[in-house]
Structure 1
Amino acid sequence: MRVSVIGAGVAGLVAATELAERGATVTVLERGASVGAEACSWFAGGMLAPWCERESAEEAVVVRGRLALDWWPRHFAGTVRAGTLVVAPARDAAELHRFARRTAHFTSLDQDGVAALEPDLAGRFRSGLFFAEEAHLDPRAALAALAAGLAARGVDLRLGVDADTTEVAADAIVDSRGFAAREQLKDLRGVRGEMVIVRSTEIHLTRPVRFLHPRIPLYIVPRSEGRFMIGATMIESDHRGPMTVRSALELLNAAYAVHPAFAEAEIVEFGANVRPAFPDNLPRVTRDGDILRLNGLYRHGFLLSPSLAQQAADILLPVEVTA
């Protein structure tokens, strides 16, 4: 089967990988000049945290997201399975209790337990929650690794091609254009997300830290060379403009509350993009003749893309089960 995948964000590259592994002849068409650079996955946190996400998401996110914990290590060697640490200021202990009630698969920590996991946070938090089975990755490195893996399989990856589903000749088309497909998916909406990348040699974290606050919740994800991704904004807007001053101040102030060393960190990058979401905030695979549309990954791109891709591959290239 000849399959054309439109869009080289995380949804498109993971779908292309699944299809190529099942023997399809795959072509990936991307309008940008580089893999993922125009996709919201370029600005993602890269957290594979199904149980933490259950705090604000449906149970389906946990069930489908657990697949990512096995899929990503097989396809990206840089996947780090060190768990997730959730903390809150002492005055906001109720937020930690509420988070615990809505989630599962964690260990409750006292102050010494937090310090044992992250020594640089010693004495800063009286309690925390540790989700030991969760993982994280650097989204940009992961996208590059998927592209390299596809190239090794002979997949034709074409950049700078602004393809439309009506113009592509193939046995099947996988439309993974995200918010750009809103004309075909009328109930798709945009949810704006913003992030900051900073660099500091004064603090070391091994795993993502989620900081609970009733007004400014955020996550800090460690990356290589002393870099940290700070994010969490979710704004009901399809505006793609630069990050606002308010969001930058809130994220940086919250990071400073996690550790004062972030006040001296170098700002490497501000970023913003629009996440595609359906009304229920769950992704869908919809079929229109020979076109499959993979969309609605919302804030769960890296977590739910393996499940979504396998669903699409099952439709186009079902795996035969023998007795």
Structure 2
Amino acid sequence: MLSKLSIAVVGAGITGLWQAFTHARAGHRVRLVERSSEPFSSCASRLAAAMIAPECEAEGAPPIVRDLGRESIALWHKAYPATVVNGTLVVAPPRDGADLTRFEQMTERHEVVAAQRIAKLEPDLAGRFERGLFYPDEAHVVATEALRWLLSEGRALGVTTEFGQPYKPNGEDVTIDCRGIGARQDIPSLRGVRGERILIQSRELGLSRPVRLLHPRQSIYIVPQGDGRYVIGASLLEREDDIPMTVKSALDLLGSAYALHPAFGEASILDMGAGIRPAFPDNIPRAIIEDGGKTIRVNGTYRHGFLLAPALAKAVSGFLSDGRRDSPLFDSPGA
């Protein structure tokens, strides 16, 4: 491979931004192209809760997601000053203790915490839960702030940006396609997975870390964003429509938040949103190398965009540097 390359990165969501940032930092000439005229206005990344939680995600994800997610935490922490490494707390009502036990058995690197420890970790939850799980090494960021930072840092490193126009080749050595579900025509095995979230503001609660509530109606996560703002989200819907959030989804999310703490009933709703995230059949992302390495399609991050984008960028960087394909992201089955 050439020591310095001209690279076009197509798509300015979290995956494309990490690619542009990483390769510019390595000294390559990078052009970032995005079809939307306003940064982040149409990418699914803007709706993310932005948890960097490989241990908790292992409850329902393949081991590769956990392993690469652990790698990504270090990359986020090293690169982005506003990365919050404050752990994740998982709780459940007493009647749902079996769900908490199952979660414990399917994950690693946690502490089993009783009511007193829960109260110390999150004073506003004192007396509400008898038992929980604490994952001290996990992190989170504020999605929109992290996206803006990556774009700004990329530009400072020399990345040229083109918003509001389709990609047209300009003689680059390599094109890295990070268009998400927009690349389906070129990657037929992609499917869309709908994600929904609500942004609220509460002056009565002060959670300091992501909290996951295991609940029979709707298990949710609540992620602090600063200034009393919280993202409330849940698992995903195997649907590809991008209609606004339904009344049922809103009621389920807000009802579970109220179950975590009744004070959420007095919170203000700032925004509701839904987006379509790209996934392969096995829910494992990959970097697909075509044309002898002239085109690399980085896609399929599923619900793990913020978790895995740094690891994906590192893997592609290794390939561009010396042809390395040691990352399992290059040869995962099912593409």
TM-score range normalised by the length of the shorter chain: over 0.9
| Paired position in structure 2 for 1:181 | 183
Paired residues for 1:251-262 under 5 Å: 251-262=253-264
| Paired position in structure 2 for 1:239 | 241
CA contact (8 A) 1:197 1:227 kept: yes
Task: State how far apart, in whole Å, the 1-side matches of 2:31 and 2:114 are.
Answer: 51
1:67 aligned counterpart, secondary structure: helix
Task: Tell me by how many angstroms 1:75 deviates.
Answer: 2.2
Larger mean Cα displacement after TM superposition, 82-91 or 307-316: 307-316
| Paired position in structure 1 for 2:288 | 286
CA contact (8 A) 1:51 1:62 kept: yes
1:273 aligned counterpart, secondary structure: strand
| Paired position in structure 2 for 1:226 | 228
1:317 aligned counterpart, secondary structure: helix
Task: State how far apart, in whole Å, the 1-side matches of 2:68 and 2:78 are.
Answer: 17
Task: State how far apart, in whole Å, the 1-side matches of 2:176 and 2:323 are.
Answer: 18
Question: Aligned AA for 2:284?
Answer: L
Tell me the C-alpha RMSD between the 2 structures.
1.2
Larger mean Cα displacement after TM superposition, 14-23 or 197-206: 14-23
1:223 aligned counterpart, secondary structure: strand
1:123 aligned counterpart, secondary structure: coil
1:77 aligned counterpart, secondary structure: coil
1:66 aligned counterpart, secondary structure: helix
Question: Aligned AA for 1:243?
Answer: M
Out of 296, 300, 304, the position equivalent to 1:300 is 304
Task: State how far apart, in whole Å, the 2-side matches of 1:208 and 1:256 are.
Answer: 16
1:18-74 C-alpha deviation (Å, 9 max, x unpaired): 111211100000111232221111101110110110000011111111111111122
| Paired position in structure 1 for 2:331 | none
Task: Tell me by how many angstroms 1:17 deviates.
Answer: 1.2
CA contact (8 A) 2:217 2:256 kept: no
Point out where structure 2 has 5 or more consecutive residues left out of the alignment.
325-335
1:7 and 2:22 matched: no
Task: State how far apart, in whole Å, the 1-side matches of 2:132 and 2:151 are.
Answer: 37
2:226 aligned counterpart, secondary structure: coil
CA contact (8 A) 2:217 2:252 kept: no
Task: State how far apart, in whole Å, the 2-side matches of 1:130 and 1:34 are.
Answer: 38
1:145-199 C-alpha deviation (Å, 9 max, x unpaired): 00111111111011112226xx443111000000000011111000000000000
CA contact (8 A) 1:255 1:262 kept: yes
Task: State how far apart, in whole Å, the 1-side matches of 2:50 and 2:259 are.
Answer: 22
1:141 and 2:148 matched: no
CA contact (8 A) 1:221 1:229 kept: yes
Task: Tell me by how many angstroms 1:239 deviates.
Answer: 0.6
Question: Aligned AA for 2:266?
Answer: E
CA contact (8 A) 2:189 2:280 kept: yes
Question: Aligned AA for 2:85?
Answer: R
Runs of 4+ in 1 over 4 A off after TM superposition: none
Task: Tell me by how many angstroms 1:301 deviates.
Answer: 0.4
Task: State how far apart, in whole Å, the 2-side matches of 1:101 and 1:233 are.
Answer: 19
TM-score by length of 2: 0.93
Question: Aligned AA for 1:149?
Answer: E
Number of equivalent positions: 318
Question: Aligned AA for 1:136?
Answer: H
Task: State how far apart, in whole Å, the 2-side matches of 1:304 and 1:44 are.
Answer: 13
